[in-house]
Amino acid sequence: MPYTRIKICGITRPEDAQVAAAQGADAIGLVFYAKSSRAVEIGQAREIAAAVPPFVSIVALFVNEPAETIERILSAVSIDTIQFHGDESADFCEQFQRPYLKAIRVRPDLDLAEAAAPYGAARAILLDSWQQGVPGGTGKKFDWQLADTLRHLPVVLAGGLTEENVGEAIATLAPAAVDVSGGVEKSPGIKDEFRISNFIRAVRWADSQKQR
């Protein structure tokens, strides 16, 4: 059965990381962006990382951070993958010798294939909703049909996903992975066990329908 990977992003508490892993998440996301309501400090991130079981990836999200800041965090926290969610160039992303995802905020006037082309070394292209002045975490979905030009690439789909619409998203775009934050929360940064469970169940159901 085709298997859609699942990342639960914006984790701020060790217990939420444990719940996500226990429910079947493949990765958890830590936000190192001070303006986000889901931002974590290094000490907090270390506690969360220590609670994550083996073979669940830890992804660190950065938005236009200086290289020195990123290096400091990478040296202090066990990070498997970097997610660049700002205007970082391919050369900047590749200097850390770590697998990375490059986020692109989707809007109708953007040539997605052209925007993604420089990031051939990325593990995947992450597609998120565009909103003026907001780098991500808007809770809004974009027109998934706009991503059709990237079907040849591994795509991580984000932006406004919930248990109600993730099945349709998978059927429409067949992404390699889905990334959810606000759609599984009680409040910003505080996850809801039942919403996580329902979201993951919805993804697995959508996967099962690919065989039909």
Burial class of residue 156 (count of CB atoms within 10 Å of its CB; 0-12, 13-18, 19+): buried
Q: How many CB atoms lie within 10 A of CB 76?
A: 13
Residue with token string 């999200």: 61
Q: Which two tokens stand for residue 28?
A: 């958890």
Work out the widest C-alpha separation in the chain, in whole angstroms.
Answer: 49
Look at phi and psi of residue 182 and say left if phi exceeds 0, alpha if psi is from -120 to 50, else beta: alpha
Separation CA 28–CA 25 (nearest Å): 7
Residues marked as catalytic: 9, 128
